[in-house]
Amino acid sequence: MHRVSPRAVWYWTARAAILWIVLIAPQVIWWLADSDGSALPHLIVGAVWLVLAAVHLVVMPQWRYRVHRWEATETAVYTQTGWLSQERRIAPISRVQTVDSERGPIEQLFKLANVTVTTASAAGPIKIDGLAAADADRLVADLTTRVGETTGDAT
């Protein structure tokens, strides 16, 4: 069973940090614009946000790194994802329809990539997040060959 790349921790942190910045920025702007009122409410709300953000940014990526696992054997693909809410997904290679690899801007920053394996069910895509780019390429190549060897329309 493989763990994802350790760099994924930083990737998840960066992704979450962007989300927090988007949430907190308008409040900072409001604070700066709202010059006459008392600063106390802003300070309290801001402090609460900062504590929440800090806890999330420290705990979530570590927790995820401990949970996330993936494995592709000759006959099946398996992932384990999540932190508070966790999910394990399994699909047999014989039912795979597409193998898809993607590198978003943040992922490129950390030299990571994700691989999505879809089946004929809309509920069944298996996404492996935070793979080292080279691993992702190898996995896609492997899966594509294996899937190509199966027959039938996979429904």
Partner 1 sequence: MTTAIGPADEAVLDTEAPWRRLSPRMLAVHPVLELRRLIVPLLALLVGAQNGNSGEGGWWALGIGVLGIGLGFLRYFTTSFRITPTHVQVKRGLLRRRVLTVPRDRIRTVDVTSNLLHRIFGLARVTVGTGQTDKKNDGVKLDGLSAAAAENLHRELLHRPAAKQNLQTDAAVRPKPAEAPAETMLAKLDPAWIKYGPFTLSGLVAIGVLFGLGSRLVNEGHVDLGKIGYVHDTLDYLGRQALPVAILLVAAVVVVFTVIASTIGYVLTFWNFRLSRHDSGTLHVRRGLLTTRDTTIEERRLRGVELSEPLLLRSVRGARVLAIATGLRVGRGGDRGGSVLLPPAPRAIAAEVAGTVIGDAGPLTVALTPHGPRARRRRFTRAATVSGVLILIVLAVVLLGGAPWPAFWSALVLLPLGALLAFDRAASLGHALDEGWLVSRFGSVVRRRYVLRTDAVIGWNMRTSFFQRRAGLTTLVATTAGGHQRYALPDVPDAEALRVARAAVPGLLNQFLAD
Q: Which residues are near partner 1 by CB under 8 A? A: 1, 71, 73, 75-76, 78, 84-92, 95-102, 119-124, 126, 140, 144, 147-148, 153-155
- For partner 1, the closer CB: 36 or 153: 153
Measured from the CB of residue 16, what is the shortest distance to partner 1 in angstroms?
Answer: 18
Q: Which two tokens stand for residue 88?
A: 């394990």
Q: Give 9 or 99: the residue with its C-beta nearer to partner 1.
A: 99
What secondary structure, in 3-state letters, does 8-42 show?
HHHHHHHHHHHHHHHHHHHHHHHHHHCCCCCCHHH
User: Which C-beta is closer to partner 1: that of 9 or that of 113?
Assistant: 113
Pairing of strands 76-82, 69-72: antiparallel
| Torsion angle, alpha carbons of 84, 102, 121, 86, to 10 | -10
Q: Give the SS3 label for residue 7.
A: helix
Q: Give the C-alpha distances (Å, rounded to integers) separating 62 from 32, 34, 80.
A: 34, 37, 15
Least separation in angstroms between residue 152's CB and partner 1 is 9
Decide whether 1 or 40 has the Cβ nearer to partner 1: 1
Q: Which is nearer to partner 1, 34 or 100 (CB)?
A: 100
Q: How far is the CB of 10 from partner 1 (least distance, A)?
A: 24
CA distances from 131 to 21, 31, 35, 45, 122 (A): 25, 40, 47, 37, 23
Q: How far is the CB of 69 from partner 1 (least distance, A)?
A: 9
**Least distance to partner 1, CB of residue 72, Å:** 10
